[in-house]
Amino acid sequence: MKATLFFRKLSLFFRQIYRPQKQWIFASLCVISAIAVVVFGGCGALQSSSLAAPPSILVDQFGYRPGDAKVAVIQQASATTEDDPSLYAHLTDTFQIVRVDNPAAPVYTGQAELWEAGKIHPQSGDRVAWFDFSTVQTPGEYVIQNTRTGDASAPFAIAEDVYQNVLIAATRMYYYQRSGFDKVPPYADARWADGAAYLGPGQDTEARFVDDKENAELERDMRGGWFDAGDTNKYVTFASPPIHQLLDAYTQNPAVWTDDFNIPESNNGIPDILDEVRYELDWFQRMQDDDGGVFIKLGTLDYNDARPPSQDRRPRFYAPKCSSSTIDVASTFAHAALVFRDFPELQPLADTLEQRSLQAWNWFNRHPVQTECDTQEIKAGDADRDPVTQLGSAILAAVYLSELQDDPQFDNYIREHFRETRPFNESLGVLYASSVVDGLTIYSQSATAPADIQAAVKTELSQLLFEQLPIFFQHSLTLDPYRAFMPDPQYHWGSNAVKSRFGNINHVISSSTDNAQKSQQYTEQALGYLHYLHGVNPLGIVYLTNMYEDGAEYSANEMFHKWFGGGIYDNAQTSSSGPAPGYVTGGPNKNYTGPAEGVVDQPPMRTYLDRNDTELLMWEITEPSIAYQAPYIQLLSSF
């Protein structure tokens, strides 16, 4: 892996030197081949401090698995119908694949094919062609070159484990988001070290009730958990879906979840993803009252954050118990108990979580559904959930409790209510309640579920996935020249999370069919969404922060984040530290309301700025979130 990163960084250095020359690739790669024999080590000094324009040849900048489809996108950006043909002549040129370590011997040569006969794609404003090089399967480091112009793609790898380092970086985002926990070497890079936050007087170990601030008798220890997003507040209802998705990511492909992600719990015999989930669940337990109800959120009363978080001295407050937070905890505790019980070391915790889940379930069923628990006096997001969302959480709780408890009430609840959940009642409900789809899929495969209820769930799921979804689910590769179709309205706040969910639903469909051809189609479609996030998009950007040391050539340099969004962390290319790596940014937002000129005038896929400015309201575009990170991790870990 060190050799791979060496070649990538050195190739980037020479690319910036030789970019004006049409044959830069041969000069640069020959030098790389020679130097690599005698030089091997860090290349940080070679990393450019300025960001060059992305190339016209777009690839997944991390790479591809050997047996997967591999299609580069050749781009004419921001095209018009009046363009002279010379401006897009490169779209139908001949391209070749060359190995970084042997550039004089191309391994594949072929011609690109226009998408839709050269039609301008309305969602991006681009003309595009595809260059299919799927037959190249030998592991190694490659670039794609235009044989006429010399233009070249970013370097990329072909390897079975090509995404493992990316997965580690993306998962470690949760470690950096830990509240009340020291982030220090060797687990934190020294550039992003900080002491434990919010453990001072009046903070998380002695949080006060927001509706009775002077009552010391109501102080509670609510330390731990993850910062929600760019802010440092903590919301039970915002954290529940990510926990489900991370647990699903583990159960869908446990082999990739090793015990060496370099977090403090590494090498304890438990996959690090489960250790990270445990950290959040410990906080969930502190948010649960003795009667089973769960307080909905914890945070500050203003926006006067300190950087880094350990310097923040503001008091912290918790909001009331609510039906939404309580049923979310019931579902996550039951799900975690089901996963954890397979590890002898975690059996006592699994038993505790199971009992706490039952307490929360009973509290939820004794109280009315509440939708106005969060007055938002505690800043900033509204943690309330509508009744349909709470019903989905109740279905999830019933699914996982039915696996843990020999009690027909849970199966009966599923029988009576599963058709009322969002996936079955909204055209794109599978995207906004994807954990419900995952949970019902598990139930449809259960060895203990009553046969009649299970058959009903299986039938309804099959009809939903194969007959009732919008037709574009069957054509996501061809409807979008960037091979990751999404309707215009979904390019909203947090659109990158929606892209990931599209990929995850395609993976569910692929895993749910016995038709090998359809399975392959939906797997390829799922990969299309992953490649989009890795650089096969109109901006040619990897929508993860500061991934240069993991192989990206053009990565998100900035994000709106109260810790990593300014000062020495401001920009990955120009600041001394830059933001921590692996954070998924919000994504293009056609509904952006800030003052940055020209953003909303762009086609939907281009409504993005690589900025973090508060005055530009960049939280609407580049703010990360634990809720954006989890669906991406679930998608990435599938491959």
pLDDT, position 13: 45
How many CA atoms lie less than 13 Å away from 93 in the CB half-sphere?
25
Domain boundary among 409, 438, 469: 469
- Are 458 and 521 in a shared domain? no
pLDDT, position 156: 98
Beta strand 542-545 pairing with 555-556 = parallel
Domain boundary among 426, 446, 469: 469
Tokens of 63: 């790479």
Three-state DSSP at 192 gives helix
Residue range 564-592: mean pLDDT, rounded:
97
pLDDT, position 16: 40
Q: Whole-angstrom Cα distance, residue 408 to residue 260?
A: 41
Cα→Cα distances 8→14, 33, 134, 142, 536, Å: 10, 12, 21, 9, 18
Number of Cβ atoms within 10 Å of the Cβ of 198: 28
CATH number at residue 417: 1.50.10.10
In the predicted structure, residue 124 carries a pLDDT above the cut 80: yes
In a domain, 175, yes or no: no
- Are 61 and 49 in a shared domain? yes
As for how many domains the chain has, the answer is 3
In the predicted structure, residue 295 carries a pLDDT above the cut 50: yes
φ/ψ of residue 587, rounded to 5: 110, 175
How many CA atoms lie less than 13 Å away from 90 in the CB half-sphere?
19
Provide the domain limits for residue 29: 2-158
Beta strands in 303-404 (DSSP E): 317-318
Q: Which helix (H) or strand (E) holds 332?
A: helix 323-340
- Neighbour-count burial of 55, counting CB atoms closer than 10 A to its CB (0-12 exposed, 13-18 middle, 19+ buried): buried
Q: Whole-angstrom Cα distance, residue 106 to residue 142?
A: 10
- Report residue 55's pLDDT band, with 50, 70 and 90 as the boundaries: confident
Between 53 and 84, whose confidence is greater? 84
In the predicted structure, residue 298 carries a pLDDT above the cut 60: yes
Residue range 115-131: mean pLDDT, rounded:
98
Q: Whole-angstrom Cα distance, residue 368 to residue 381?
A: 23
In the predicted structure, residue 45 carries a pLDDT above the cut 80: no
pLDDT, position 553: 95
CA proximity to 77, closest of 606, 621, 623, 628: 606
DSSP letters of 63-124? Answer: EE-TTS--EEEEEETT--TT--GGGGGGGGSEEEEEETTBTTS-SEEEE-EEGGGGPPBTTT
Q: Is 545:586 a contact under the CB 8 Å cutoff?
A: no
Domain boundary among 413, 442, 469: 469
In a domain, 165, yes or no: no
Tokens of 107: 């391994």
- Are 392 and 514 in a shared domain? no
- Are 496 and 390 in a shared domain? no
- Are 464 and 524 in a shared domain? no
- Are 104 and 240 in a shared domain? no
Q: Is 63:8 a contact under the CB 8 Å cutoff?
A: no
In the predicted structure, residue 36 carries a pLDDT above the cut 60: no
For residue 141, what are the β-bridge partners? 157
* Mean pLDDT rounded to a whole number for the chain: 92
In a domain, 163, yes or no: no
φ/ψ of residue 611, rounded to 5: -135, 165
- Are 603 and 480 in a shared domain? yes
| Residue 62 CA from chain centroid, whole number | 15
pLDDT, position 380: 81
Q: Is 315:300 a contact under the CB 8 Å cutoff?
A: yes
Q: What angle do CA 447, 452, 454 make, to 5 degrees?
A: 45
In a domain, 525, yes or no: yes
Number of Cβ atoms within 10 Å of the Cβ of 615: 8
Three-state DSSP at 458 gives helix
Q: What angle do CA 424, 331, 294 make, to 5 degrees?
A: 120
Residue range 542-568: mean pLDDT, rounded:
97
Q: Whole-angstrom Cα distance, residue 412 to residue 251?
A: 25
The position carrying tokens 């040849």 is 57
pLDDT, position 53: 64
Q: What is the pLDDT of residues 1-27, one digit of tens each?
A: 444 444 444 444 443 433 333 333 333
CATH number at residue 82: 2.60.40.10
Q: Is 113:128 a contact under the CB 8 Å cutoff?
A: no
Q: Whole-angstrom Cα distance, residue 164 to residue 299?
A: 34
Q: What is the pLDDT of residues 257-285, one digit of tens each?
A: 999 999 999 999 999 999 999 999 999 99
- Are 259 and 388 in a shared domain? yes
pLDDT, position 25: 39
Q: Which amino acid is at 376?
A: Q
In a domain, 299, yes or no: no
Q: pLDDT > 70: what percent of the chain?
A: 92
Q: Which residues contact 416 (CB under 8 A, 6 or more apart)?
A: none
Q: Is 18:27 a contact under the CB 8 Å cutoff?
A: yes
pLDDT, position 33: 36
pLDDT, position 40: 31
Residue range 189-205: mean pLDDT, rounded:
98
Q: Whole-angstrom Cα distance, residue 175 to residue 574?
A: 25
In a domain, 57, yes or no: yes
Q: What is the pLDDT of residues 488-540, one digit of tens each?
A: 999 999 999 999 999 999 999 999 999 999 999 999 999 999 999 999 999 99
Instruction: Please state the pTM of the whole predicted model.
Output: 0.93
- Are 36 and 143 in a shared domain? yes
In a domain, 199, yes or no: no
φ/ψ of residue 102, rounded to 5: -155, 65
- Are 267 and 125 in a shared domain? no
pLDDT, position 52: 52
- Are 513 and 447 in a shared domain? no
In a domain, 210, yes or no: no
Tokens of 455: 């058959």
pLDDT, position 8: 47
- Are 372 and 252 in a shared domain? yes
Q: Whole-angstrom Cα distance, residue 537 to residue 521?
A: 20
